[in-house]
Amino acid sequence: MAIQLQKDAEKQALGSIKRFFSEELDEDIGDLKARLVLDFFLKEVSPTVYNQAMKDAQAYFMEKASELGDVRHEVEFDYWKKPRPKP
């Protein structure tokens, strides 16, 4: 499953890829090459990133769910258990 980017994010990613090639590799690339690089990473690498993010999120929520048992519970139906002042 390749991740689909929103149009704005896709535009920013393409610009970032072109800038990376220019500044880090001294190679100016056009829109087509930038698109091919982006498509490759979205298809090849993004599933691994997605799966790890899901594992991290699951671990986080499991940890938080396990802490629910540590939450102090309120006593129920204790109105009649409390001593009342005599009138």
The residue behind tokens 């139906």 is 77
Break the chain into its structural domains and give their ranges. 7-67
The better pLDDT of the pair 41, 75 is held by: 41
Q: How far apart are CA 19 and CA 68, in angstroms?
A: 47
pLDDT attached to residue 79: 85
- With a cut of 90, say whether residue 49 has pLDDT above it: yes
Contact 1, 12 (CB under 8 A): no
pLDDT band at 75 (very low <50, low <70, confident <90, very high): confident
